Amino acid sequence: MRSISVSILILTAWPLLAQETPTEREAARDVLHKMAGLEKSLDIPATVMRLTAANPAREQVVARAKELMDKELLALSDDITKNPEIGFVEKRSVQKLKQYLEQHGFDVKVGAGGLETAFVARYMGNNGPPNLGVIVEYDALRGTTRPFHGDQHSAQGPVGMAAAVAIAEWLARTKSPGSIIVFGTPGEEMMPPNAKTVMHKAHVFDGTDVIVRSHSFGTTLRAAPGFGTCCMNIDGVKYTFSGAPAHQLTAWAGRNALEAVIHLFENIDSVRSNMRPEARIQGVITEGGAAPNVVPDRTAADFYIRYPDAIYLEQVRKFVDDAAKAAALSTGTKVKIDNYGQNRDGISVAMLDEVGFAYMKMYGAKKVQEEPGKPQGYEETGSVSSEIPGMGFEAYSSNFANHTYEMEADALTEIGHQGFRVDARAMAAILFDFATHPDYRAAVKREFDGIKALFGEYQEALKKTYTLPRVPEPN
C-alpha cells in the first residue's frame, strides 16, 4: 500500500514538476491545470495496482524474456559493446540483430525509410491488432580516440528483442490477438538525418498502437506525463563560410574564412547575456583551413542549438544565425546556413510510465528515483512519440554518467546486466498488459489524445510570454 500511496502523492503533485523552466510552468498554468484534471480522472494508481497483481500468464512471458537474456542476449549485448559502430555505419551490429530475429521467427527487411542500417522485423506468426512496437538502437558515440558505447545502446537491441520474442511466442502459442514489430533505428546520436524522423515521414511506424524502448541511466526513473524531450528541443545547424585564398604574405589579396568562423563563436558569446539562461549553444569547428601559409577560403562549424521549448528556441536560433551573418559581413566572406536536423517535444503518458515503473521495481531495479522526472517523449526526435503512445524504460545500469567510457565499461559487468534484465522483463510485462487488456489500451489512448490536444494551447501560451523587446532606431 505504501508504494500506491506514494504514487498518488506524486501524481497529484506532478504539475509542479511539469515542464523544465518556471517561465514555461507559469505560461502554461491553465494547460497544466487541465492536464492534471485529465490525469486525476484516469485513476492511474488503481490501474497500476490491478495490472501488477499476480498473473501467472504474464509471469511466463516475463520469465521467458529473462531466460533469453541470460542464455543468449547478454552475450550479444557484450559483443556489440566490444565492437562499437557509429551511426549509419552499424552494419555488423545490424547483421547480428537481424540474424537473431530471423532465428526466432521474424521476417526482417533492412533499409527501412531508405536508411541502409534501419530495419523492420515482423513476427511471422502475427495475428492482427493490437500492433506492439519495439524500438531498438545500436549506434555508438563518436569519441576522441574511438567510437564507444557510452550510452549502452549496445544493449537496446538485446533488451528489446528479449521482450519481443517472449511476447511473440506467447501470442502464437495461445493464438491470442496481437502483432509484434521490431524497429531498428540507427544513428540516434547523430544528425543528419534524424533516423526516426526520416522513418516516420516514410510511414514506417504507421499502424503501431504502442511503442516501447529502453535506455541506460544512472538511476531507475520514469517521466511525468506531458510534453517534453530528454535533451531539450534542438536545431542542428551547420555554418559554412566561403572566402578567397591568397598567400599569407599577401593576405590582403584574399578573404579569411577562418577569421569568420572565429568571429561566429565570439559573436555568440557577446549575446549570451541577452538569452534566457536555459539556452545551450554548443558548436565545433569541423573545417578550419588546409595550410598555415594559405589564407583559408573555406571553413565550417557544426552547432546544436537547444532550448527547453521550441517557441523560445526560435529566438535563440535567430541570435546564432545573425551572429554568423555578422561574422561574414565583417570579414568580407559569405556564409551558408544549413539547418540539417531538429528534435522537438514528444509526449509521455502516465498510464504507461507508471505501470512500467512499477514493473521495474517489481523485477529488482536498483537506485530507484521515486519522484518522476520531467515530461519527455520515449524517443528524442519527438516526431514518433507525438503521434504514437509509448514508453522508454530506464532501469539503473551504470554508476557513471551517460556519454562516458565508464558507462560503456559497466555494460560488460553485472551492474549493466542486471539493469538490462530488469528492462527486458518490465518491457515484456507491459506489452503483455497492452495486448491482453482492451480497457487498458483505451485508457492509454484517452490520456495520449488528451495531452496531444493540449499541446497547441501550450505553444500559444508561450508565444504570448516570449515577447521581443522594441529596439528603436538610433537618433
The whole-model pTM stands at: 0.91
Distance CA 164, CA 158 (A): 10
Half-sphere exposure of 329 (CA within 13 A, CB side): 7
Answer with the one of 343, 361, 389 that is the final residue of a domain.
Answer: 343
Q: What is the pLDDT of residue 381?
A: 87
**Residue 254 in domain:** yes
3-class DSSP assignment, residue 127: strand
Answer with the one of 286, 310, 343 that is the final residue of a domain.
Answer: 343
Query: Do 168 and 278 reside in the same domain of the chain?
Result: no
Name the burial class of residue 352, with classes exposed (0-12), middle (13-18) and buried (19+) by CB atoms within 10 angstroms of its CB: buried
**Residue 368 in domain:** yes
Distance CA 180, CA 130 (A): 9
**Residue 27 in domain:** no
Answer with the one of 307, 328, 343 that is the final residue of a domain.
Answer: 343
Q: pLDDT of 417-426, one tens digit each?
A: 999 999 999 9
**Cα 212 to Cα 294, 363, 385, distances in angstroms:** 53, 17, 10
Q: How many domains does the chain have?
A: 2
Upstream peptide bond of 84 is cis (omega within 30 degrees of 0)? no
Distance CA 83, CA 75 (A): 12
Helices 156-174 and 414-436: angle between axes, nearest 10 degrees: 30
**Residue 18 in domain:** no
- Residue length of the chain: 475
Q: What is the pLDDT of residue 194?
A: 82
Query: Do 62 and 206 reside in the same domain of the chain?
Result: yes
The grid coordinates listed for 387 are 503521434
Mean pLDDT by 10 residues, the chain (475 residues): 42 60 90 93 96 98 98 98 97 98 98 97 96 98 95 98 98 97 94 85 97 97 94 95 97 98 98 96 97 97 96 98 98 97 94 98 97 91 95 98 97 98 98 98 98 95 93 95
**Residue 313 in domain:** yes
Domain span at residue 262 reads 233-343
**Cα 94 to Cα 87, 89, 147, 155, distances in angstroms:** 11, 9, 16, 13
Residue with cell 505504501: 2
DSSP state of 390: E
